Copies of this chain bind each other. A is one copy, B any other.
Amino acid sequence: MSRQDPGRPDTTPNGNADLTQRATGGGLDTRTAILRSARTLLEQHGYHGVGLAEVARAAGLSRQTVYLHFGSKRGLLLALVDWVDQVEGLEELLAVARSAPSAVAALDALVHLTAVYTPRIYKLAAVLEVARRSDPDFDAAWQDRMAHRRRNMGAVVKWLADAGDLADGMSVKSGTDIVWTMLSVHLFEDLVVDRGWSTERYQAFVEDVLHHRLLPPDLG
A40 at the interface (CB under 8 A from B): no
A213 at the interface (CB under 8 A from B): yes
Question: Which chain B residue lies CB-closest to A197?
Answer: B177
Q: What range describes how many residues of A lie at the interface?
A: 20 to 34
Does the CB pair A134–B195 fall under 8 Å? Answer: no
A155 at the interface (CB under 8 A from B): no
A126 at the interface (CB under 8 A from B): yes
Does the CB pair B195–A187 fall under 8 Å? Answer: no
A129 at the interface (CB under 8 A from B): yes
- Cβ-neighbour of A130 out of B130, B177, B205, B209 (below 8 A): B130
- How far apart are the CA atoms of A209 and B187 in the complex, in Å? 14
Using A133-B126, A134-B130 as known contacts, say yes or no to A191 and B209 having CB atoms under 8 A apart: no
Using A195-B177, A205-B178 as known contacts, say yes or no to A134 and B46 having CB atoms under 8 A apart: yes
- Cβ-neighbour of A209 out of B134, B197, B213 (below 8 A): B213
Contact with B along A194-220 (1 / 0, CB 8 A): 010100000001001100110000000
A148 at the interface (CB under 8 A from B): no
Using A47-B134, A133-B126 as known contacts, say yes or no to A195 and B181 having CB atoms under 8 A apart: yes
Q: Give the Cβ gap from A50 to chain B, nearest Cβ, in Å.
A: 11
Enumerate chain B residues within 8 angstroms of A191, measured Cβ to Cβ: 177, 181
Does the CB pair A47–B209 fall under 8 Å? Answer: no
Enumerate chain B residues within 8 angstroms of A49, measured Cβ to Cβ: 134
Q: Give the Cβ gap from A140 to chain B, nearest Cβ, in Å.
A: 14
Question: Which chain B residue lies CB-closest to A46?
Answer: B133
- Seen from chain A, the residues whose Cβ lies within 8 Å of a Cβ on chain B are 46-49, 126-127, 129-130, 133-134, 177-178, 180-181, 184, 186-187, 190-191, 195, 197, 205, 208-209, 212-213
